[in-house]
Structure 1
Amino acid sequence: MNRNTRPTPVLPTALPPGPPPISRSTHRWAALTVLALAQFLVVLDASIVNIALPVLGDQLGMDTVALAWVITAYVLPFGGLLLLGGRLADRYGHRRLFLVGTAGFVTASALAGLSVTGGMLLGARAVQGASAALLAPAALALLTQLFPASTDRAKALGIWGAVAGIGSAAGVLLGGVLTAGLGWQAVFFVNVPVGLLVLIALPLLISRDPASIPGRLDFPGAATITGALVAAVGALSSIEQVGFAHPLTLGLAVAALALGTAFILIERRTAEPLVPLGVFRNRNLSSGNLVMLLLGAAMVALFFALSVYLQAVLGYDALTAGLSQLPLAGALVLVAGLAPALVGRLGTKRTLVGSLLLLAAGLLWLAAAPSDADFTVHILGPSLVIGIGLGGAFITATQLSVDGVEGGEAGLAGGLINTSQQIGGALGLALLASLAAARTAALETAGAAGGEALTGGFSWLFLGTAAFALVGAGVAGIARRSPDADVQHSA
């Protein structure tokens, strides 16, 4: 791309013509550390609460379906508003929106920890997710400005992807330690001092934003895509309560389809779309985002179900449940570090397919765990295989999504992959949690004991996550490289 003839989009949106790139920091690696710390918090908060769910559910009077919404209430506004957050950052400044989003995230975290009712907690989680939707795309834009050279940017994006993957796994361990030692409120309060550190450090490392870029905000596009996501998750969640054929379920499904169609039509006709649809002509980007959508669905549902299974079925306390997931987290971190070497030897596509197949195998193994499972016999082996598969799949799916993307579109590609992960997580959890609850109810009706019935429900959920991983492997396996894509395996 010739930067003199085409604007440089650095977020999940098309940028109008603006000023040329400027140096934002003389300490860019230190600035990247601060940005990555903020990204770590954003991803961590989708998983850290999992271990605390049974405890806070007892104290706030929330049943299993309501507990699933503690996760969904965060993931849904995060995924649904990411694209609008990027557009706002383009208009009003990346540094400014990053700081606004971080401040909102810190405030909402404090309110979540102070919650005395389930409704208050869900409201605080929704504000957390909306704030994260401002923070994350702005951070990606700042990253692309800090590292304009393709080689340095690839390293920075690799660190970014590794931090996101590690944050998902580390959340369950940290959540167990905090819940056992300080109570469930600590999983939210921990964000406050870290967020304040980010708010203090970043203005010292990154220069002020240039003048705002004029342009019209695509609010119709943002409204329709957010409404479509809310309706889709609502339809999936209502299946467990009222059934497939209930007017509420059907009405929400129709609304989701109609709003999704409206979004596509709006984006095709508007001069400044929220998502320029032409970017999906890059087959690598499209395939990578579809794989990440499926991987996000599997990841969020897995960490939710595994945390509840260990405590509600096997009787682990919060600390033991967190420590029991240390092998999974350790395997993920180790493979995340080795993934670049694996890609260099095998290529992105083979590494991704192999990782997803390993993930599916581990999930199928876990689905066979009984209600009286022994950790060493039934949990440890699947956890290690799942961690290896997750670590390789997350990094290589991110790599595939930016394969062949020109330097000026790196921010756009990064924003889309983040959105795909969050949307997949919201939809996957809603679908599989409803499936698990329905299976548990059927087993209880048939006379199964409480632990056996719960185990049967979780088994179906783990089978569902394995199915997502297998479909992802199929998508990656048949993906054709774009003609202009040239994967640099040695990078």
Structure 2
Amino acid sequence: MALGLLRQRPRRRARRRPGPVRRHRLAPGRAPPARRPRSRDRHRRPPAPGLRADPGGRDRLDHAHHPGRAPRGPRLALLIGFWFVEKRAAAPLVPVHILRRRSVIWGNATGLIAFVTETSLVFLLTLYLQEVLGYSPLATGLAFGVLGIGTVLGGTLGGRAVGRYGTRATIVTGGVVQALATLSLVALGTSGGWIRLLLAATFVGGVGNMLMIVGFMVTATSGLPDEEQGLATGLATMTQQVGITLGIPVMSAVATARMTALGDTGPQGVLSGVSVAVLVNSALVLAGALLAGTFLARRRTDHPA
């Protein structure tokens, strides 16, 4: 039945054939008659201020009305004013003292690094598989299935590790594992046999990355009063979104800078750019693990000032 549905051709609407075009002979010096507005033209809304319709039917920004972006000074002043108002308020909307907690600050910093590095690594390895090894998009997606299995396993082990060894040990261990697995990808070459190293490294790195993420979530949301749990969870979610958004542009800029310096956009140039970006990625993960091990060393319950 499914094959029959796929083989059915979509029905086409009967198109109305246009009638013969009438040609008007104009006297010399006489302008052509004005076209009567159609009903749809009468009800069409004018373009918004600052937008000008181009001949293609799309609206584009009219820089004549908006020569520059909105100034950042007023926005920054409002943000600073909001900080001081919330700091002195008896019942603030956003208790700013939560940002003084060691667990919130360094827990979110660790989570930011975890999301920046792993999401950008997927982008870098996509370039490697498609531009260097010549993989199709489908084969590339299937290759990253191994990474998904590693993250599932890491998420399962993360909760147990936190309960047995604590958040600090879990974050540091996961960061070191992810950094070593990422560092091994620097050895990738142009031969198709290097796919084995890529699969093994992404699996191990996925396990380490999820250990960091589980430790980060527990650290950033623990030891807080009930009325601050929602705010801490919102900060952790924001950290996740910022990390996912920030990682790919940063690492792609590193890879592009390397390819531009070499003047080569072929397979060898892409491989060199990816290798440099992978090295930076690994160093960033290791730095995050060391920061977590240093600043999350003391276990104490911080009280708001």
So what's the TM-score if we normalise by structure 1?
0.43
Q: Give 1:310's aligned residue.
A: 129
| Pairing partner for 2:233 from 414, 423, 435 | 414
Aligned residue type for 1:276: P
Cα RMSD after superposing both structures:
2.8
More helix by share: 1
| Pairing partner for 1:484 from 288, 301, 304 | 301
Residues in 2 aligned to 1:438 and 1:350: alpha-carbon distance in whole angstroms:
36
Q: Give 1:267's aligned residue.
A: 82
| Pairing partner for 2:116 from 273, 288, 297 | 297
- Residues 188, 194 of structure 2: 8 Å contact kept: no
Residues in 2 aligned to 1:424 and 1:274: alpha-carbon distance in whole angstroms:
25
Q: CA deviation at 1:414?
A: 1.0
Residues in 2 aligned to 1:390 and 1:348: alpha-carbon distance in whole angstroms:
14
Unaligned runs of 5+ in 2: 1-57, 60-68
After superposition, where does 1:45-444 map in structure 2 within 5 Å?
262=77, 265-271=80-86, 275-443=94-262
Q: 1:260 to 1:396 in 2, by over 3 A?
A: farther
Query: Cα deviations across residues 246-271 of structure 1 (Å, max 9, x unaligned)?
Result: xxxxxx9xx88x78964652332234
| Pairing partner for 1:470 from 286, 289, 295 | 286
Q: 1:320 to 1:483 in 2, by over 3 A?
A: same
Q: CA deviation at 1:323?
A: 1.1
Residues in 2 aligned to 1:327 and 1:267: alpha-carbon distance in whole angstroms:
46
Aligned residue type for 2:150: A
Residues in 2 aligned to 1:259 and 1:295: alpha-carbon distance in whole angstroms:
33
- Residues 267, 275 of structure 1: 8 Å contact kept: no
- Residues 113, 284 of structure 2: 8 Å contact kept: yes
1:374 counterpart SS class: helix
Residues in 1 aligned to 2:185 and 2:77: alpha-carbon distance in whole angstroms:
41
Q: 1:259 to 1:413 in 2, by over 3 A?
A: farther
Q: 1:315 to 1:274 in 2, by over 3 A?
A: farther
- Residues 282, 482 of structure 1: 8 Å contact kept: no
Aligned residue type for 1:269: F
Among all aligned residue pairs of Structure 1 and Structure 2, give the percentage whose two residues are the same amino acid: 30
Aligned residue type for 1:484: T
Unaligned runs of 5+ in 1: 1-118, 121-251, 486-491
Q: CA deviation at 1:482?
A: 6.0
1:340 counterpart SS class: helix
Q: Give 2:3's aligned residue.
A: none
Aligned residue type for 1:386: G
- Residues 259, 272 of structure 2: 8 Å contact kept: yes
Residues in 2 aligned to 1:281 and 1:449: alpha-carbon distance in whole angstroms:
46
Residues in 2 aligned to 1:259 and 1:466: alpha-carbon distance in whole angstroms:
39
Aligned residue type for 1:323: L
Query: Cα deviations across residues 417-470 of structure 1 (Å, max 9, x unaligned)?
Result: 111122233333222211111101222x2xx57101001111122122212211
Residues in 2 aligned to 1:321 and 1:304: alpha-carbon distance in whole angstroms:
11
Residues in 1 aligned to 2:94 and 2:187: alpha-carbon distance in whole angstroms:
42
Q: 1:370 to 1:335 in 2, by over 3 A?
A: same
Bigger-Rg structure (1/2): 2
Query: Cα deviations across residues 32-60 of structure 1 (Å, max 9, x unaligned)?
Result: xxxxxxxxxxxxxxxxxxxxxxxxxxxxx
Residues in 2 aligned to 1:259 and 1:437: alpha-carbon distance in whole angstroms:
35
Residues in 1 aligned to 2:140 and 2:78: alpha-carbon distance in whole angstroms:
42
Residues in 2 aligned to 1:298 and 1:267: alpha-carbon distance in whole angstroms:
32
Q: Give 2:271's aligned residue.
A: 455
Aligned residue type for 2:300: P
Bigger mean CA offset, 373-382 vs 472-481: 373-382
- Residues 296, 421 of structure 1: 8 Å contact kept: yes
Residues in 1 aligned to 2:149 and 2:128: alpha-carbon distance in whole angstroms:
20
- Aligned pair count reads 231
Query: Cα deviations across residues 389-408 of structure 1 (Å, max 9, x unaligned)?
Result: 11111111111111212222
1:316 counterpart SS class: coil
Aligned residue type for 2:284: F
- Residues 259, 265 of structure 2: 8 Å contact kept: no
